[in-house]
Structure 1
Amino acid sequence: MGIQTVSAHGMKVVKAGLLTTVQDLGRIGYRSSGISTGGAMDRYALRMANLLVGNEEGAAGLEITLVGPELEVETDLLIAVCGAYLEPTIDGEELPMWRPVFVPRGAVLRFGGAISGCRAYIAAAGGFGVPRELGSRSTDVRAALGGLAGRRLAAGDALPCGAGQGAAAPFQWAAAWATALSRQGKAAAATAPEAAGRRLPWAAAPWFAPPGAYGGGDGEDGIVLRAMPGSEYGQFSEAAREALFRERYAVAPASDRMGCRLTGTPLIRQSRAELLSHGVTPGAVQVPPGGGPIILAADCQTTGGYPKIAHVATVDMPLLAQAKPGDAIRFQLVTLDEAQRLDRRRELDIRYLVAAIRSRQP
């Protein structure tokens, strides 16, 4: 489809990056009709970015993959950038992550390549006001559904932010921080030496939200994903089951939002019987005939016929989202009870963090 523009200004895409799309937390309740849930690959990073600008956790933001875009800001905005480090800058100055940042009209946001992680998220106070389709603003590129004309962003696209074109009005807390940071930015710009002068008065909050979801990433053994045995776990040889939780695998270049393909020790299934196609969900570790595991991700199909040797715990799906080609992955066996306990603990930590964020007054 061609470039889609809207009358309400927020951000203009100057350069689109490798894969930049509008994402929220996905389409809930349509998998029985064959429609993927989709949504942000790293739900934690998007939720944190939204909380830092006073949005509902599920508001739409921008998902940036591996190589980031260049965006021109066309109205004053309070934004937050969370997730992978893609060298974000504002008019050439480093953009602080994991905190509210006031960005004035005329500023240019630029992102480079992924230094650590794979995907970064931009939230703006009020959200991105692209139309909802089947209850979500998320982009499903394969289905040409949602987002901006159902596709990745392109140079020349205009993105509505804040209270325009269906986005929400900024929450009072966010409006207060935007006002305070605007004043701070103007004061800094007014006193900056001319030689190193700040062209526009942007400013960041002096505090940040600690990114607590990535504790299992970038260790000596690579990214550690906790996983439970899958429904066909017993159909694999003992050697294959041991290899899954002993060996290191590498993320293959063919990985995408549908699934993370891994290379390494092949996993051999003892049973030769074909499986009937059955329901699958993100996190399932399928093993096709070649023996190379595939971890299903946000845009995965709704049914599949490959055996499932394991299922990644929900709490570690943000780690999977941040795995880029070449990264090492190792699986760690946990029980269902342990996985549920870890998920409850994560949600409790987020609730504590929400209270801490809201207690920060300018």
Structure 2
Amino acid sequence: MITVLETGVLNSVQDAGRFGYRHLGVSSSGVMDLLALRCGNALLENAPDAACIEVQTFPFKVCFDKPLSFVVTGGEGTLTLGERKILPWSIVSAQEGDILTIDHPTIGARMYLCVCGGIDVPEVLGSRSTQLRGGFGGYHGRSLQQGDQLAGAGGCVADGFGVLPPSLVLNGACKAEKEKTVTLRAIPATDYFLFTEEARRHFWSASWQITAQSNRLGYRLKGGALHLQHPVELRSYGVIPGLIQVPPAGEPIVQMADANTAGGYPRIATVIEADLWRLAQARIGSYIQLQQCDQTEGLQAMRDVDSYLNDICNTSALYRKSLIRRDTGKAGKKS
């Protein structure tokens, strides 16, 4: 068991998402930063979509009621287990009674507590993710509260092993150009040429600020109005995370994990899947710069992400194999 000792609003149980029900109006939900979840699960040898706790309001504090290995990924902030400081992106084994405190991140906006075997809550429509708007899934369909007790599948794995966060490995074309600015690659969308030439130029050149009207549904951006060549009315269409819509006021909205399943605003571009984790870690008030790319570049960027994850799995397996050999060798000497 894991007992929640201190939490804020919107911290919730999430997994990789709920798929196959969008035609019924059920959004995918799931973690905002999928790469952080996949990294944590790879380190712990969990299933790739095992559920975790997504922490986006701080401080967050839990007590482990039995020995359990865990990893904290996502942003980077001060982590303490009891009185001991621990590292993010590294496997740590907690003992019964240990208290983990996750403080405000100095880098990023969200942190993820992944535990050995995953957080064990009932599956609803094929997922353990919390659908906060619908009030189902996760832990009783709501944000976590003080005193909540979460079951983990339990167990420990070899600890003391960690990885470099993706921000240090997957730089590519997405380095921050200035403080508080994140560059994201995007592909022009279906309605791109419905916008004026001036609007299209401004879209790629502007620094867009993430406003306080942003959440898991979408990020509202501020940085100037984008105008259409002439007014249009569109049929409703399917919406996915990363899609950038432009409502009548002219300032863009980027759809996120809890995006609506359908919409009708003009679509100017879509952030590539490989960069969505960067957007998830951008804080309210920070800026994003959009960089045009094509499908080929987007697919290569996703291959780079997959290669990074494969390296984690392979290196982790080698580390555990070396420990087994070491322990076998010690046992042979004693006998």
User: Which residue of structure 2 lines up, in the alignment, with residue 23 of structure 1?
Assistant: 14
Correspondence 1:242 to 2:233? no
Residue 252 of structure 1 deviates from its aligned partner by: 0.5
Q: CA RMSD in A?
A: 1.4
2:65 corresponds to which letter in structure 1? Answer: E
Q: What TM-score do you get using the length of structure 1 for normalisation?
A: 0.84
Alignment correspondent of 2:165 = 211
Distance in 2 of aligned mates of 1:291 and 1:127: 42
- Residues 241-298 of structure 1 show CA distances to partners (whole Å, capped at 9, x for unaligned) of 1111111011111110010111112111223021111111111001111111111001
Q: Of residues 54, 58, 61 in structure 2, which corresponds to 1:70?
A: 61
Report the CA distance between 1:93 and its aligned residue: 2.6
Aligned to 2:289: 330
| In structure 1, C-alpha distance between the alignment counterparts of 2:189 and 2:220, rounded to whole Å | 17
In 2, Cα distance between equivalents of 1:18 and 1:332: 33
Q: Distance in 2 between matches of 1:106 and 1:26?
A: 31
Alpha-carbon offset, residue 218 of structure 1: 4.0
Report deviation, 1:217.
5.3
* Equivalent pair of 2:244/2:270 in contact (CA under 8 Å): yes
Residues in 1 aligned to 2:208 and 2:80: alpha-carbon distance in whole angstroms: 34
Q: TM-score, normalised by structure 2?
A: 0.91
Structure 2: distance between partners of 1:13 and 1:314: 32
State the aligned residue count: 316
Could you tell me how far apart the structure 1 residues matched to 2:9 and 2:284 are?
A: 14
Letter in 2 for 1:318: W
Change in 2 beyond 3 A, CA 1:270/1:66: farther
Identify the residue that residue 6 of structure 1 maps to in structure 2: none
Distance in 2 (alpha carbons) for counterparts of 1:101 and 1:287: 44
Tell me the distance in 1 between the aligned counterparts of 2:41 and 2:307: 17
User: Identity of aligned pairs, percent?
Assistant: 34
* 298, 301, 304: which one aligns with 2:257: 298
Q: Give structure 1 stretches of 5+ with no counterpart.
A: 1-9, 164-169, 182-204
Aligned partners of 1:109 and 1:217: how far apart in 2?
A: 32
One-letter amino acid of the structure 1 residue matched with residue 178 of structure 2: E
Say if 1:22 and 1:102 are closer, same or farther in 2 by CA, change over 3 A.
Answer: same
**CA distance, structure 1, for counterparts of residue 101 and residue 56 of structure 2:** 13
SS at match of 2:228: coil
Q: What's the counterpart of residue 220 of structure 1?
A: 178
Q: How does 1:102-121 map to 2 (within 5 A)?
A: 102-121=93-112
Instruction: For residue 329 of structure 1, give the secondary structure of its aligned residue in structure 2.
Output: strand
Matching residue's letter, 2:281: Q
Match status 1:39 vs 2:34: no
Do the aligned residues in 1 keep the contact of 2:185 with 2:293 (CA within 8 Å)?
yes
Contact kept in structure 1, 2:9 and 2:144, CA below 8 Å = no
1:200 corresponding residue in structure 2: none
Deviation of 1:349 (Å): 2.6
Contact between 1:314 and 1:343, CA under 8 Å: does it hold in 2? yes
2: CA distance between counterparts of 1:226 and 1:354? 27
Q: State whether residues 109 and 283 of structure 2, in contact with CA within 8 Å, keep that contact through their aligned partners in structure 1.
A: yes
What is the match of residue 278 of structure 1? 237
- For residues 59 and 275 of structure 2, what CA distance do their matches in structure 1 show? 24
**Within 2, Cα distance between the matches of 1:144 and 1:109?**
27
Asked if the contact 2:43–2:312 (Cα under 8 Å) also holds between the matched residues in 1, the reply is no
User: 1:192-223 CA distances to partner (integer Å, 9 max, x unpaired)?
Assistant: xxxxxxxxxxxxx1x42112256335441710
Cα distance in 2, alignment partners of residues 217 and 137 from structure 1: 33
Tell me what 2:326 maps to.
none
Q: Which structure shows the higher strand fraction?
A: 2
Amino acid at match of 1:212: P
Aligned residue in 1 for 2:192? 233
Answer yes or no: is the 8 Å Cα contact 1:245–1:332 preserved in 2. Answer: yes
Distance across 1 between alignment mates of 2:195 and 2:58: 38
1:125 corresponds to 2:116? yes
Query: Which residue identity lines up with residue 259 of structure 2 in the other structure?
Result: C
What is residue 76 of structure 2 aligned with on the other side?
85
Deviations 1:93-129 (A, max 9, x none): 3221111101111111112223210011011111111
Code of the residue aligned with 1:108 in structure 2: it is I
What amino acid is aligned across from residue 356 of structure 1 in structure 2? T
Query: What is the CA–CA distance in structure 1 between the aligned matches of 2:264 and 2:97, rounded to whole Å?
Result: 51
